[in-house]
Amino acid sequence: MEKAPKGTILIMAILIIGTMAGLLNQSSLNTALPNIMGEFRLSASTVQWLTTAFALVTGIVVPITAYLIQRFTTKQVFVFAMGMLTAGTLLCAVSPGFGLLLTGRIIQAVGVGIMLPLVQTLTFILIPVARRGFTMGLIGLAINFAPAIGPVLNGWLVESHSWRLLFYILAPCSLLLTMLGLFLVKNVTPQVKSKVDALSMTLSSLGFGGVLYGFSVSGSKGWGSTEVLISLAVGFIALCLFVWRQLTMENPLLELRVFTSPSFTLATVISMILMIIMLSAQLLLPLYMQTMLGYSALKSGLMLLPGAILICIMSPIAGKIFDKIGARTMVITGISLTVISALLFSNLTEHTSYTFLMVGYSLRMVGVSLTLLPVVTSGMNSLPPALIRHGIPVNTTLRTVAGSIGTALLVTIMTYSGGGLKQTGDVHSLIHGMNVASMVTTGAAVVALILSFFIPRKEEIPAEIPAKGVAVK
């Protein structure tokens, strides 16, 4: 069996822990959002920018990671990413107002936006095909477990101390990882001198930013408002120009040739839907429990704990199973569980029990753990080696942006259907909004289930492609 290069285990361990630290920051505020709304006197549509902006910036940064990995050493990229994460975390901890808190979140997102594709790209560069599933399962501990455990930790801290304390804890941890990277991470990729295309970066930022902003403010401004329509128009036009430029450039920012692989395209679409389903649950359920049922931040966080533990247990197991049987059966099974979970949350009331919510969420996390990383790995395995470093940023970008837009859209649906989500109001209307959002999630899960039946039964690992423009199987 092909072996990984010497030092791979140490490098991957540091990268995975660094990614986990970043993703803990991503989800940590979910259970604290109602407290922040009260402290800074914000509406739900405003405070959700602390999560939406984080995901948006991550999506904007991810596309340039392929360039960074090619242009700079592994150590330089890692230290820069962790340095940004450390600085942003510290700013969040000391921020006196919403503006600086949002700025800190944006700085954090730059670091996370680099770390996510970095750790996955190096997995496909360093790890033999036969062991990629298990390694991606370990990465699943960071990608799935960290966002799930973050609300639990912050729920306890909000209950006993302050939502700021988690940032005070994570800042020195991130700094320690940065220092370890300086001494222990070695370069494992060849460097090529090249320039990043500024126009592509501008179009990417305008496109993704415009679309997300339009979806995010539609709940408070209305779908017919000039601001929303202009934002969406600018976003979609910029995205079209961005795609056209990538297809006509010699060295594009995002190599869209990866979509000549049907398996990669299918895997990317399914993973985008799964990201929406996972992130929406982590955001909407704490809001539902605290603002509609009256639970504390700690209790709403603890409700998520069994699901987080199951993710921790299942991710490496799912990776091992994937290495043996492939993705198709696992994805069909996992998405079926996800559909059931989404249906359970589509008929909530003010009397819904704590145990019901815990079981339903845990079922969803099991479904995600069986599905997300296996389907991503399957899609990446369908690409030739030359396109792998491009495939990860493309997939991660689309997953991140889909999660951002999907979450913003579901919050909008919930607020519209519920007559406006506020600290006080008609609980029946608010819960109705939550149920409508859950029905939309169910529909998305059903679409993903149908698509999963088109995943090939047996993977074909392609060799190199000879030249640009040759289709990938």
Residue in the block written with tokens 């954090």: 108
Encode pLDDT of 349-370 as tens digits: 888 899 999 999 999 989 988 8
Query: Once rounded to an integer, what is the mean pLDDT over residues 266-277?
Result: 92
* Class of 8-196+253-452 in CATH: mainly alpha
* Domain layout of the chain by residue ranges: 8-196+253-452, 200-252
Q: What percent of the chain has pLDDT over 70?
A: 88
* Maximal C-alpha separation, the chain: 63
pLDDT score of 126? 74
Cα–Cα dist 101/166, whole Å: 14
pLDDT score of 472? 39
For the record, the structure tokens of 412 come out as 């909008």
Encode pLDDT of 153-205 as tens digits: 777 777 777 778 888 888 998 999 999 888 888 777 767 777 778 898 889 88
User: By 3-state DSSP, what share of the chain in percent is helix, strand and coil, each rounded to 5?
Assistant: 80, 0, 20
Rounded to 10 deg, the angle between the 385-417 and 49-61 helix axes is 160
pLDDT score of 111? 92
Across 266-275, 292-301, 347-356, least confident range: 292-301
Q: Could you please report the per-residue DSSP string of 14-63? A: HHHHHHHHHHHHHHTTGGGHHHHHHHHT--HHHHTHHHHHHHHHHHHHGG
pLDDT score of 110? 92
pLDDT score of 127? 75
For the record, the structure tokens of 437 come out as 């959002």
pLDDT score of 175? 92
What are the counts of helices (DSSP H) followed by strands (DSSP E) for the chain?
A: 19, 0
For the record, the structure tokens of 264 come out as 């990669």
For the record, the structure tokens of 191 come out as 């460097």
Identify the residue with better confidence: 460 or 442. Answer: 442
Q: Could you please report the per-residue DSSP string of 88-141? A: HHHHHHH-SSHHHHHHHHHHHHHHHHHHHHHHHHHHHHHS-GGGHHHHHHHHHI
Report the Cα–Cα distance between both ends of the chain, in Å, rounded.
25
Query: Once rounded to an integer, what is the mean pLDDT over residues 266-292?
Result: 86
DSSP 471: P
Identify the residue with better confidence: 331 or 221. Answer: 331
CB atoms within 10 A of CB 103: 15
* Mean pLDDT of the chain, nearest integer: 81
Cα–Cα dist 371/130, whole Å: 18
Cα–Cα dist 95/175, whole Å: 19
Cα–Cα dist 285/42, whole Å: 19
pLDDT score of 288? 85
Q: Which of 66, 50, 25, 285 is nearest to 149 (CA)?
A: 25
pLDDT score of 469? 42
**What's the residue count for the chain?**
473
Query: Once rounded to an integer, what is the mean pLDDT over residues 308-331?
Result: 84
Q: Which of 68, 74, 80, 88 is nearest to 26 (CA)?
A: 88
